[in-house]
Amino acid sequence: MSVELVLAAISAADLCLTYGKRLIEAYRDIRDATEAVQSRLLIIEAIWSKTAIQVEFVKRIAQALEEDHCRIHVEALEVLKSKLILAISRIQSVVKSGPESSVKRWKYARVREAIDNSITQLQQWQSIFDPTWYLILRIGNKLIDDELSKHGDTENEMMFLPAAKSSNTLASAQSIRSMVKGEGSKEMHVTLPEDGLDWANTWAIKYSSTVLIRREVSEKLYAIDTITCDSSYDLPRLRTDTETLAKKLKREDIELFGLLPCKGVVKRRNSETKKLASMSLAFQISGTDLRRPSISLRSLLLQERSLSLTRVVEIAKQLARAVSFIHTLDFVRKNIRPETILIFPDRDSDKSCEIFSAYLLGFDSFRNVNFHTLKVGDDAWERNLYRHPTRQGIQAQEAYIMQHDVYSLGVCLLELGLWDSFVKYNFGAGKASDTNMPGMGLGLSLAEVKLQPGKIEQTQKIKNQLVSLAKARLPARMGDKYASVVITCLTCLDEDSDDFDGDDMQDEDGILVGVRYIEKVLMKFGDISL
């Protein structure tokens, strides 16, 4: 990598740290602030404390980054610098400068507005920067290990912010890196007792294989994904992978990435043979009210759209971040479709149509990227619709890679943007059935989507139809930028793809494909403003 690019990253980081410090000082100079303003100041200090630590870390390890990865950091830092300069300008316009900085009472509304805008801008930037930053944890470089081990010193340098005193940003990153490297997790126990959950009372989520269940001794709710231990699987590897995934998802902060924290794994055995029959991943849910339970994205798409365009785009962004973080953790998700995406109501809203968050579940199908994938699938058209042509059918043609997840995400984003379910279920349970029909919006008949063995041109026709829908109908519904992201996802494995060229993406640690995904999907989503 060129010295110039490394210096550009260091310079951009320095400027961001300088302007960030000025912004916090400008806020602190406000005299006699109201309680509402003070509470907002605490929020922005907490946000900046994490940001400052991350930026300082990038400055220290810039030389260890791949060229494209470093370039993306420079671009992101330039955006942050612009946002900080604008925020400083806004607050200075309503606050007198000097030792007796003050605000006239009638101007406090403008101060609150300026701070709220800064909070929104920094949060939006952080949602794009986080995947870029956490991807660093996959890089095998001693400098990164050394700098992470200095997290106490780094965070002490940020002590001009009180909120940073409790920051554990780098400690958390060090923990994730250890997990990715397969270190530090042997002492972590994730096996849960079978009798700890009330298996006699479960609540089905319509169109989803995930179920809700309570603990025996409390009102806590868990979302359960069950993996059946079929004899065709390599059970020792499946067990290891399942436990490893549970350990990596056993984090309170993982909701930031569109994933639910995993409490652990329940292993159930056949009562007669005593052999392992299933493993259930238990995910923590913050709410306990079953009168307003989570619903699948499929269920939502089958209803008339009641969400604002802003909400729809936010769901899309959350799903895109989840795919990125799963890759950072060294797993490919597999089988992403509306049935494996759960939508949670806003706990603070009385309106049933208000959406709080979207989470990627359905972990009955996943794979560690370091292990050879089984090229085994199924012939259910409802599931094959969301798989790349080379992964459809009972016997897939290609081994599973991250780009296959990107393609599946693209189909979901297309469906979400059009708000037109591609699958019409004739049974409430949502199970695969010959009576289920393609949605009218898909533009394909049942005969056209049902797979015929050996006919690759049929699977290619389905993909071409999806791309055509994205080009013809999506811009008018969601705008050109959203449509562009969807098309990028759907064509990520095309031989003539400029965004995900196959030969260039086969790096040992998966950094290049992760960088390209951030650049072509997450950063483009970040450019969408409504």
Residue whose entry in the numeric block shows the structure tokens 């109501």: 345
What kind and span of H or E run contains 332? Answer: strand 331-332
Q: Is residue 356 in some structural domain?
A: no
Q: What's the mean pLDDT in 321-346?
A: 86
**Quick check: 203 pLDDT over 50?**
yes
Note whether residue 49 is domain-resident.
Answer: yes
pLDDT tens figures, 168-181: 788 888 888 887 77
Model confidence pLDDT, tens digit, residues 235-246: 888 888 888 889
Q: Is residue 467 part of a domain?
A: no
Say yes or no to pLDDT of 502 above 70: no
Evaluate whether residue 116 is within a structural domain. yes
Secondary structure (3-state) at 411: helix
What pLDDT shows up at residue 38? 83
- The confidence score (pLDDT) of residue 368 equals 59
Which residue would you say has higher pLDDT here, 421 or 111? 421
Q: Is the pLDDT of residue 378 over 90?
A: no
Is the pLDDT at 351 greater than 50? The verdict is no
Q: Above 60 in pLDDT, residue 183?
A: yes
Mean pLDDT of 407-427: 94
Q: Which residue has the tokens 């700098």?
A: 147
What does the pLDDT average to over 274-290? 84
Block residue for tokens 């509304």:
109
How many domains does the chain divide into?
1
Among the ranges given (220-229, 379-388, 411-420, 493-502), the one the predictor scored with the smallest mean pLDDT: 493-502
What's the average model confidence in pLDDT over 353-378? 63
In a domain? residue 129: yes
Q: Which two tokens stand for residue 154?
A: 């780094």
pLDDT at position 63 is: 96
Least confident window among 145-149, 348-352, 364-368, 377-381 = 348-352
Region label for 430, one of left (φ > 0), alpha (ψ between -120 and 50) or beta (otherwise):
left
Confidence band for 291, pLDDT divided at 50, 70 and 90:
low
Specify the DSSP class assigned to residue 205: P
Kindly report the pTM of this predicted structure: 0.88
Is 62's pLDDT higher than 50?
Answer: yes
pLDDT band at 217 (very low <50, low <70, confident <90, very high): confident
Spatial distance between the Cα atoms of 383 and 431, rounded to a whole number of angstroms: 11
In the prediction, which pLDDT does 164 show? 42
Rg (CA), the chain: 24
* Separation CA 342–CA 285 (nearest Å): 11
Report DSSP state, residue 304: P
Answer yes or no: is pLDDT of 337 > 80. yes
- What's the number of CA atoms in the CB half-sphere (13 Å) around residue 23? 30
- Place 335 in a pLDDT band, splitting at 50, 70 and 90: confident
**Is residue 104 in a domain?**
yes
Average pLDDT over residues 353-379: 64
pLDDT, the chain, mean = 83
Model confidence band, residue 294 (pLDDT cutoffs 50, 70, 90)? confident
Of the two residues 23 and 28, the one the predictor is more confident about is 23
- The Cβ of residue 272 has, within 10 Å, a number of other Cβ atoms equal to 7
CA–CA gap between residue 349 and residue 163 (Å, rounded):
29
Q: Residue 56 domain-assigned?
A: yes
In which domain, by residue range, is 138 found?
3-180
Write out pLDDT tens, residues 430-462: 454 557 899 999 999 998 988 776 677 888 899
**Residue 340, domain member (yes or no):** no
Q: So what's the pLDDT on residue 431?
A: 52
446 token code pair: 């049942």
DSSP assigned state of 518: I
Listed range (152-166, 208-222, 278-292, 295-309) with the worst mean pLDDT: 152-166
